[in-house]
Amino acid sequence: MDKILILISIMLLSCYSTEQAKFLHNSIIDPSDMETNSLKAGENVLPNSAEEEHQMLLETREVEAATKSKIMYKTRHPRSAIDNQIHEEFDARKGWPQCKTIGEVHDDGNTRWGWAYATAGVLADRMCIATNGSYNQLLSTEELIFCGGIKTKQSGAVRGDDVWEYLKSHGLVSGGKYNTNDGCQPSKIPPIGNIPTHLYNHTCEERCYGNNTIHYYHDHVKVSHYYNIKSNEDIQKEVQTYGPVSVKFRVYDDFFLYKSGVYVKTEKSLYVRRHFAKLIGWGVENGVDYWLLVNFWGNEWGQNGLFKIKRGTNEVHVEDYVYAGEPEIK
């Protein structure tokens, strides 16, 4: 019966993916209203993208106050980069070319779990950086989502302190991309536009089902502590010294149409929800300061899965909630 449902779903998705793209269609938002010298907009290739499903792409509601009250701001300590000179432009992929995880673009499969991809991605990148490339492995979003006990509302809202506390107390095993055997627990979440995720009965598995030569209980990577980063200058110092950070920001309906350039919210755009991404650098384009971030909607969205957003003006609150942690090196 399950196989029949899966086959029917594949047929329906292939027949109706074009019609279901209305939420990203130009008739909803005119790309010409968005375009400037530094921003290009257009239809992104995101099959199975009806309005209802795009609500699922975005996660958080108003849980920020509770989260911020528990996650401490980073203070100076022996490893602090407080006195470092800030680069005019920076891209963590070029700063640590040996760490291939930094530029990995995941496809979260039409789910509400961007918070997990961002957090696991930051820890994987920082493990690689801290070990000078000797640890160069994705971490398991599957374990974080299904074993972490993170309280997720129907909208996908989560408390950042719960997520980072799990990484401190329990940690994550190694992971890999969908349809691979890489790591202990590679992703079982199919890419967006494929079989709907709800057809899969995801459960917590305390074993390695990918590379089964790995010992599950010995494979975990943890953070020794985690923190919120307060100012733009501190964000830059943090990234150029220790690696990418996780950010939470507001998503408006015009963001779905982003193709290239520096994103700035248009005047008539409508607020949708909150979302997470991984911040990996910054620069200047056509006189506009920007942050460089990795999104989790596949390579066909935006600039091969990445996007730039205006820096220094707290555009869509992207500079309000910035999180990171220090990996625990054994």
Q: How many domains does the chain have?
A: 1
Indicate whether 141 pLDDT > 70: yes
**Helix ranges restricted to H, the chain:** 2-16, 31-34, 51-56, 64-70, 92-95, 114-130, 141-147, 160-169, 232-242
Question: What are phi and psi for residue 277, nearest 5 degrees?
Answer: -150, 170
Query: 138: helix, coil or strand?
Result: coil
Contact indicator for 235, 319 with CB cutoff of 8 Å: yes
- Please report whether residue 216 resides in a domain: yes
Q: Let me know if residue 240 belongs to a domain.
A: yes
Distance CA(80)–CA(270), nearest Å, equals 39
Where residue 314 falls (left for φ over 0; alpha for ψ -120 to 50; beta otherwise) is: left
* Residue 305 to residue 192: CA distance in whole angstroms: 13
Residues 322/229, Cβ–Cβ less than 8 Å: yes
Between 268 and 202, the more confident residue is: 268
What is the domain range of residue 247?
85-328
70 touches 163 (CB < 8 A): no
Mean pLDDT (whole number) for 85-107: 96
Mean of all residue pLDDT scores within the chain: 81
Burial of 156 (0-12, 13-18, 19+ CB in 10 A): buried
> With contact defined as beta carbons under 8 Å apart, do 78 and 242 qualify?
no
Residue 3 within any structural domain of the chain: no
Closest of 266, 244, 240, 242 to residue 255, by C-alpha: 266
Strand 39-41 versus strand 258-263 pairing type? antiparallel
Does residue 66 form part of some domain?
no
- Segment 256-288, tens digit of pLDDT: 999 999 999 999 999 988 889 999 999 999 999
**Is 14 inside any structural domain?**
no
Between these two residues, 212 and 12, which has the higher pLDDT value?
212
Q: What DSSP designation does 226 have?
A: E
Q: What whole-number distance in Å separates Cα of residue 304 and Cα of residue 101?
A: 15
The number of residues making up the chain comes to 330
What predicted TM-score, i.e. pTM, was given to this entire model?
Answer: 0.81
Residue 297 lies in a domain: yes
SS3 7: helix
Q: Nearest-CA neighbor of 21 among 193, 191, 156, 155? A: 193
Among 250, 248, 247, 252, CA closest to 279: 247
CATH code: domain of residue 266: 3.90.70.10
Instruction: Give pLDDT, residue 260.
Output: 96
Residue 276 inside a domain? The answer is: yes
Average pLDDT over residues 144-166: 78
Instruction: Read off the pLDDT band of 226 (50, 70, 90).
Output: very high
230 CB-near residues (< 8 Å, 6+ apart) = 73, 74
- Domain membership of residue 23 (yes or no) is no
Give the model confidence (pLDDT) of 3-56 as tens digits: 444 443 433 333 333 333 334 445 455 565 656 656 666 656 454 444 544 554
